[in-house]
Amino acid sequence: MNNEHKDAVQDTVTEETIEETLENTPNTGESGSPEEAVNPEQEVPVTESADEAAGSAELEKLQAELQEQQQRTLRVQADFDNFRRRTQKEKEDLGKYASSKLITELLPVIDNFERALQASEENPEFESFSKGVSMIFRQLESVLATEGLSAMKSVGEPFNPEYHQAIMQVESDEYEEGIVVEEVQKGYMLKDKVLRPAMVKVSM
């Protein structure tokens, strides 16, 4: 056998040996170890990225801000409701007591009418005059009553600083202590409001 034929046979044997070796060698992956071979069906653990964590923190912040805004809106709404009710009440009171200033200025006129009537009763010569004045006075009282004016009843009532102005304390056998025994000047109510407190004497 010549040298060229020997070399050809040798090359063929070498190639066959290499192919068998590759077929019998297990797939070791990049690390070269069979145990560390990558299984395509194995689950890879998922970790939260930095972007996802930042997004979650931003969402929580926005939710807190939204809740704060909602609370602020509720407070503003409550304040507005209170203001509306207060304004409505002031408007009603304005209409209810619109005649207060005029009636207050007329009270001294009523006082003088009453004094004139009392004086005329003591002098029979003024009987006809007294009747005329009395008619005018009753007419005025009627007009004012339609506006809500009413005289207080003070004598015999317990002293109340909201309705009475005490100018003197006197001894009394008829009333116990702290009772109005005499009315020096009438007090008046305009509907449910004290227009003028009564000037009174109180038992001691």
DSSP characters for 176-195? -TTBEEEEEE--EEETTEEE
- CATH dotted code for 149-204: 2.30.22.10
- Predicted pLDDT of residue 85: 81
In whole angstroms, give the CA distance from residue 158 to residue 92.
Answer: 32
Domain boundaries, the chain: 73-147, 149-204
Sheet holding 164-170, edge to edge: 164-170, 198-203, 180-185
Of 202, 143, 145, whose CA–CA distance to 177 is shortest? 202
Q: Exposed e or buried b for every residue in 82-102, given b needs 16+ CB within 10 A? A: eeeeeeeeeeeeeeebebbee
Cα gap 94→88, rounded to integer Å: 10
Provide φ and ψ at 203, rounded to 5°: -70, 150
The number of helix segments (H) and strand segments (E) in the chain equals 4, 6
pLDDT in tens, the chain (204 residues): 545 544 544 555 455 555 555 555 555 444 444 444 445 555 555 455 667 777 787 888 888 888 888 888 888 888 878 877 887 777 776 666 777 777 888 888 888 888 777 777 666 667 777 777 788 888 888 888 888 889 999 999 999 999 999 999 998 888 899 999 999 999 999 888 898 999 999 998
Rounded Cα distance, 192 and 170, in Å: 30
Q: What is the pTM of this model?
A: 0.48
Name the CATH architecture for the domain at 73-147.
Alpha-Beta Complex (3.90)
Query: What is the sign of the dihedral through the CA atoms of 172, 175, 178 and 183?
Result: negative
Give the number of other CB atoms < 10 A from CB of residue 179: 17
